[in-house]
Structure 1
Amino acid sequence: MRILIALAAALMVAGATTAQAAAPAVMAAPNINGANVKAHLTQLQSIASANGGNRAHGRPGYLASVNWVKSKLDAAGFTTRVQSFTYGGATGYNLIADYPGGDANNVVMLGGHLDSVTSGPGINDNGTGSASILEVALQMKATNFKPTKHVRFGWWGAEELGLRGSRAYVNSLSSTEKSRIKAYLNFDMTGSPNPGYFVYDGTEHKPVIPGSVDLQKRLEAGFASFGVPTELTLVNGRSDHAAFTAAGIATGGTFTGAEKIKTTAQAQKWGGTAGQAFDRCYHRSCDTMSNINDTALDRNADVIAWTLWATAA
């Protein structure tokens, strides 16, 4: 499904003078091929299978995952760096990737955690978010997207142990570096097998951070553009956006559900099975390639691209 960035165009021309009204239209966000995202997930599954069945902090499967994602981004011309940190007596790693160009004082950042729990390969949690932002990053290069803002991606380590990697990254930034990040978008579990379509509530953090509600509305508009109703969710600091909100940075994100039970009303709205968890394999060994809903994965990947193009254009 190809989604045009009508919202981005509207944002750019809002308040324009008559003389400015002839500005060129914003290019369309690309359709993200769900098969490409699944191919990335297959690679993460293979890495876990070859390394004791997981991709957890301090385990060889995690570093192998970092190295594989880095190789894909390096080949696409991103500037990458691996940031190390220590937690629980083990070295953890964050992967940071910068897309060339854009205003370095106006950074849009996307991220998701790359680690799994020790009990399984973590394909939905959070291979899905990690693979989706990887494919979106690769499509920036493939479509020769030239955003006016600078775009940065982060794959976080040790999220499953208390958001350790994202906190280490934000804490490593100077006040000036933090002030340059104008938006952070987080994608954690975007292909749950009994999916919901949740958008982070931009008013969750108190006081409300300027820009967070704008990101919420932009994500909602992305889903609405192809007829998918959404609900707001209070993530309550359970994912990596928490470090950014603590630093006063506007945040947003999407989520397809974890251990909570889908209600009858939600099943009527989204399909799937009422009375069953959104993800019955949450934090279990069965979180494998068979634990993915292809439609939810594809829709979320398209919305990620839609929102990035609208925010960074």
Structure 2
Amino acid sequence: MKALLTALVTAGALVGSGLADAQPVRLAAAPDIPVSAVRADLDQLQSIASANGGNRAHGRPGYLASVNWVKSKLDAAGFTTRVQSFSRNGATGYNLIADWPGGDTDDVLMLGGHLDSVSAGPGINDNGTGSASILEVALAVRSSGFQPRRHLRFAWWGAEELGLVGSTHYVNSLSTTDRSRIKTYLNFDMTGSPNPGYFVYSASGQPSGSLRVQQVLQQYFSSIGVQSELTSVGGRSDHAAFARAGIPVGGTFTGAEGIKTSAQAQKWGGQAGVAYDRCYHRSCDTTANVNATALDRNADAIASALWTLAG
């Protein structure tokens, strides 16, 4: 997750905004996403980094190897994939876009997260966790036989760590018509922090329609007995390019360099006074730097949101 901004995390951020009391929503029945499958994907991303200088950063061979590996899984499952290239800092970057055939192509539901790491380490929590979870949810669409009303599109962004470069390039490259077809974008960046929080992107200040996404994600966590908090992530991750284009956005986040409070530790467990992710942007962001429970809950939250919002 890009470190240019510090996330504001507060349970009461929406008090007085008119959005504080999210209304209950009816969640669609979604398949369970096996955390073992997500962790196997993280093992693969770790292996790719280890074989390519210890990272999966923009312009480094580990990043392109990551793109090619994810693409191969999606191609085998019947997705229509394309790799979009762009340039940054004298190097070529890549976005991977995958469309599931069918659904109303004038009503696109899009899910994404960044696939690149920083150069300091393999980036397994940031953002192998979101990337692997989105991949397994996409594969579950195939294996379940789900036939959504809306058209489904998935994305793995490049060069997020350099300033949301890949996602911004994608949105800016769209024609006005194609941009208008994307009705909702969900972003998942850092979903398995080792000292996790359970944060849902706040709809406050976001395009009209974002509240629906917020409510769906809040309701999912409520349904499994987990209290979530709202977070205002601002321009910190790849949803920002979509929000600037007026597209409703939402997502989940388990925390980065911020410090878990005593109240949060009482609510969620873990250690108060310690960062959600002590290995944020460091070489120790390996497969050992992931909380399996948070990873599992967030993967299932992603599936629940997709099944509910896809119609």
- Say yes or no: TM over 0.5: yes
Per-residue deviation, 1:8:
4.7
State the match for 1:295 in structure 2: 293
The residue type equivalent to 1:295 in the other structure is: T
The residue type equivalent to 2:290 in the other structure is: I
Bigger relative contact order, structure 1 or 2 (CA pairs below 8 A, ≥6 apart): 2
Contact between 1:8 and 1:311, CA under 8 Å: does it hold in 2?
A: no
Question: Helix, strand or coil: the match of 2:108?
Answer: strand
State the match for 1:171 in structure 2: 172
CA-to-partner distance for each residue in 1:230-266, whole Å, 9 max, x for gaps? 0000101100000000000000000000001000000
Q: Which consecutive residues of structure 1, in runs of 5 or more, have no partner in the other structure?
A: 1-5, 10-25
State the match for 1:151 in structure 2: 152
Give me the whole-angstrom Cα distance separating, in 2, the residues matched to 1:77 and 1:224.
34
Per-residue deviation, 1:270:
0.4
Question: Helix, strand or coil: the match of 2:215?
Answer: helix
Q: Could you tell me which of 267, 275, 278 is aligned with 1:277?
A: 275
Q: Which consecutive residues of structure 2, in runs of 5 or more, have no partner in the other structure?
A: 1-23
Give me the whole-angstrom Cα distance separating, in 1, the residues matched to 2:257 and 2:208.
31
RMSD (CA atoms): 1.0
| Matched ranges for 1:113-262 at <5 A | 113-205=114-206, 209-262=207-260
The residue type equivalent to 1:126 in the other structure is: N
State the match for 1:268 in structure 2: 266
**How many residue pairs end up in the alignment?**
288
State the match for 1:45 in structure 2: 46
Give me the whole-angstrom Cα distance separating, in 2, the residues matched to 1:211 and 1:230.
20
CA-to-partner distance for each residue in 1:39-75, whole Å, 9 max, x for gaps? 0000000000000000000000000000000000000
Give me the whole-angstrom Cα distance separating, in 1, the residues matched to 2:99 and 2:61.
25
Question: Helix, strand or coil: the match of 2:62?
Answer: helix
Contact between 2:25 and 2:215, CA under 8 Å: does it hold in 1?
A: no
Give me the whole-angstrom Cα distance separating, in 2, the residues matched to 1:236 and 1:226.
27
CA-to-partner distance for each residue in 1:135-192, whole Å, 9 max, x for gaps? 0000000000000000000000000000000000000001111111010000000000
The residue type equivalent to 1:288 in the other structure is: T
Larger radius of gyration: 1
Question: Helix, strand or coil: the match of 2:221?
Answer: helix
Question: Helix, strand or coil: the match of 2:113?
Answer: strand
State the match for 2:57 in structure 1: 56
Per-residue deviation, 1:7:
4.0
- Overall identity of the aligned pairs, in %: 72
Give me the whole-angstrom Cα distance separating, in 2, the residues matched to 1:67 and 1:7.
38
Give me the whole-angstrom Cα distance separating, in 2, the residues matched to 1:64 and 1:224.
38
Give me the whole-angstrom Cα distance separating, in 2, the residues matched to 1:186 and 1:261.
22
Give me the whole-angstrom Cα distance separating, in 1, the residues matched to 2:174 and 2:211.
24
Per-residue deviation, 1:204:
3.3
CA-to-partner distance for each residue in 1:191-230, whole Å, 9 max, x for gaps? 000000000001133xxx1110110011101111100000
The residue type equivalent to 2:254 in the other structure is: T
Give me the whole-angstrom Cα distance separating, in 2, the residues matched to 1:162 and 1:8.
36
Question: Helix, strand or coil: the match of 2:118?
Answer: coil
State the match for 1:91 in structure 2: 92
Give me the whole-angstrom Cα distance separating, in 1, the residues matched to 2:167 and 2:233.
16
TM-score (norm. length: structure 2): 0.91
The residue type equivalent to 1:267 in the other structure is: A
TM-score (norm. length: structure 1): 0.91
Give me the whole-angstrom Cα distance separating, in 2, the residues matched to 1:284 and 1:233.
23
Give me the whole-angstrom Cα distance separating, in 2, the residues matched to 1:7 and 1:31.
19
Contact between 1:8 and 1:309, CA under 8 Å: does it hold in 2?
A: no
Pick which of 210-219 and 279-288 moved more.
Answer: 210-219
The residue type equivalent to 1:180 in the other structure is: R
Contact between 1:85 and 1:93, CA under 8 Å: does it hold in 2?
A: yes
| Matched ranges for 1:15-26 at <5 A | none
Contact between 1:7 and 1:310, CA under 8 Å: does it hold in 2?
A: no
